[in-house]
């Protein structure tokens, strides 16, 4: 294999890793919308560390599972809709990467007249395990909170 072929294969692998991490984030966001706890847990490494702010910090999948189970089972939660953009992913080697995302999350409660939109920035690290790329750590920086009025309320 020539040096140019080797360089091209390395670039392809880098791009494939970046796309796999972007797919990981999309899978995570869709799992939130669908309230799919098992898919969401598969997005995290076994020893993941998450800091969601407001004193909410979790270490390991079991702790995260408890947090998300409680959130997803809230009978008043009509919908939680995350939308991520401006993702910047840097692959540092074949099993480690970091990323930053801007995320807007809409929360709608069944009996509430208004919903909320939280705009946040996620700082994350990723690790590739036997299960593929997973979130190893995440820190959430809150940028702003908005009150919203849904045009049409779900489940009513």
CATH number of 91's domain: 3.10.450.50
The CA–CA distances, whole Å, from 55 to 75, 80, 88, 118, 150 equal 23, 21, 26, 17, 29
Contact 87, 39 (CB under 8 A): no
In a domain, 58, yes or no: yes
Q: What is the token pair recorded at 45? A: 């490494």
Segments in the chain below pLDDT 50: none
Domain coverage including residue 82: 3-148
Domain count along the chain: 1
Contact 122, 139 (CB under 8 A): yes
Tell me 113's DSSP state.
Answer: S
Nearest to 59 by CA among 140, 142, 141, 137: 137
Q: By CB neighbour count within 10 A (0-12 exposed, 13-18 middle, 19+ buried), where does 84 fall?
A: middle
In a domain, 96, yes or no: yes
pLDDT at 155: 59
In a domain, 153, yes or no: no
Rounded Cα distance between 29 and 18, Å, is 17
In a domain, 154, yes or no: no
Q: Please, which residues bridge with residue 77 across strands?
A: 109
In a domain, 155, yes or no: no
pLDDT at 113: 87
Q: Please, which residues bridge with residue 70 across strands?
A: none
* Chain CA centroid to CA 102, Å: 11
pLDDT at 154: 56
In a domain, 60, yes or no: yes
In a domain, 156, yes or no: no
């Amino acid at each position: 294999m020539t040096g140019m072929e080797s360089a091209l294969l390395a670039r392809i692998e880098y791009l494939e890793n970046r796309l796999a991490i972007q797919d990981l984030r999309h899978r995570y966001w869709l799992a939130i919308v669908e309230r799919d706890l098992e898919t969401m847990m598969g997005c995290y490494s076994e020893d993941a560390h998450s800091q969601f702010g407001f004193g909410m910090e979790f270490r390991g999948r079991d702790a995260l599972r408890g947090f998300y189970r409680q959130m997803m089972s809230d009978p008043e939660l009509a919908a939680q809709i995350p939308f991520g953009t401006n993702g910047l992913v840097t692959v540092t080697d074949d099993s480690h990467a970091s990323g930053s995302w801007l995320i807007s999350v809409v929360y709608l409660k069944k009996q509430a007249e208004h919903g909320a939109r939280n705009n946040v920035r996620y700082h994350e690290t990723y690790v590739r395990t036997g299960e593929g790329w997973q979130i190893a750590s995440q820190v959430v920086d809150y940028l702003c909170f908005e009150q919203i009025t849904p045009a049409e309320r779900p489940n009513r």
